[in-house]
Structure 1
Amino acid sequence: MKALIMKKHFQHLAAAATLGLAGLYAQAAPIVIDVSGAQSINLLGESGNTVWLIDIGAGSVLNSLSWDVTLSAPAPSLLSELQLSFGSSSGLDLITWAPAASDGFSGTGAYAGSLDLAPLGLAVGGDGLLRLEFSEAFKDLAMGMAEGQWLGGQLSFDVAAAPVPEPAGAVLLLLGLGFVAARLRRSGRDEVVTKSKTEVPAHQAELDAGAGLRSGLARVA
């Protein structure tokens, strides 16, 4: 009975330790990027565009994007054609977004908003690099001529770092579980020893009774 109670107690502690380890995982943190000076010159993937690689931590997941930026597009280029593509450094899983998608005219404009990226499960690779490329959706001017300017403002990515428990906290939790497991095993052994000392098998009791009867008969004879 005591061993059963100890076992249940151990299971509760193990569950609590699992939650504790989960709580040690890195929490979401914002990555703020100043876009001043970025320019889009050609189509996505072509040379000349502004490309930035930003270290946000290996395996980090992008949860959301918010922005507050000012853009400029000289005629005949349009504000709606300025776009930003972001994702892992491989460039194979990029998401392309245009902050001024509804403004089909030239000039300057300020834009703010946010995107929920969590459903996409977008994460960077093992190198931890987030790739940003500023490009044009349509090429209006001659090759090599800038068509869009990111005059100022910021992008803010809400990032969840890859789950890595803090060494000290993990060690303490594991040591605690080891101690409880040892106590549980010792308690089980003590219970078995006590039981073996106190309980007498039925056949042994019968043998003892027969030996006593024979001894009594011998004395009478």
Structure 2
Amino acid sequence: MKKLHHLAAASVVASALLSLASAPAQATPFVVDVAGAKSVNLQGEAGNTVWFIDVGANAALNSLSWSIELDAFAPSALSEMQINFGESRGWGFVTFAPGRSSSASGVGSFSGSLNLSGLGLGLGSDGLLRLEFSEAYKDFATGVAEGEWLRGTLTFDYTVASAVPEPASAALALLGLGAIVGVRARRRVAPRRNG
């Protein structure tokens, strides 16, 4: 019975160590300065501004907030300027048009936020976030810019799966494991009686 008790305690400690190793860690939000990005062609076509940002392996995007100023070159509209973001391979991405409510050309300012946590938007093992600035509708010839992201920022909040537990958590887990080993070492085997 005691042996089962010790095995159960060891199992609890092992489970705690595993959960510590895979627990998500809240990371400091990162900010992307969008100044100078151009929306040229439709999404996925050559000529668009594409950036890769190293966020961290297996990061999960939780939210996006923005405060930006766009310039849509007539006859292109502010609502057509968009950004696509997701993992580096271009799979599992979100298309976002900050000026979606404005059918006007020219300069417009936009701000707001978007909750991404329900989308399960994660980055791959390379940890790279791919940002592509594109157009929803092509008004000009291929390769001709239809708009420019004049100034402003995109702020992403994210979490990263922690591969290694924090030192204090690891120390507590090891202390618990040490206590189990100590109890086992102190346990004495009853002497056998002959006959």
TM-score when normalising by structure 2: 0.85
Change (3 A) 1:59 1:18: same
Structure 1 unaligned spans of 5+: 205-221
Q: What residue is the counterpart of 2:160 in the other structure?
A: 161
Change (3 A) 1:164 1:54: same
Q: What is the identity percentage for the equivalent residue pairs of Structure 1 and Structure 2?
A: 48
Q: Cα offset for 1:22?
A: 6.7
In 1, the alpha carbon distance for the partners of 2:66 and 2:152 equals: 8
Tell me if 1:114 matches 2:108. Answer: no
Q: What residue is the counterpart of 2:86 in the other structure?
A: 87
In angstroms, what is the RMSD of aligned CA positions?
3.0
Q: What residue is the counterpart of 2:190 in the other structure?
A: 193
Q: What residue is the counterpart of 1:175 in the other structure?
A: 174
Q: What residue is the counterpart of 1:58 in the other structure?
A: 57
Larger radius of gyration: 1
In 1, the alpha carbon distance for the partners of 2:17 and 2:170 equals: 13
User: Quick check: which one's helix share is greater?
Assistant: 1
Change (3 A) 1:20 1:94: closer
In 1, the alpha carbon distance for the partners of 2:174 and 2:73 equals: 65
Q: Cα offset for 1:129?
A: 0.6
How many residues are matched? 194
In 2, the alpha carbon distance for the partners of 1:24 and 1:180 equals: 24
Task: Say if 1:25 and 1:165, in contact at 8 Å, map to a contact too.
Answer: no
In 1, the alpha carbon distance for the partners of 2:19 and 2:50 equals: 40
Structure 2 unaligned spans of 5+: none
What secondary structure does 1:183 align onto? helix
In 1, the alpha carbon distance for the partners of 2:29 and 2:142 equals: 36
Change (3 A) 1:93 1:59: same
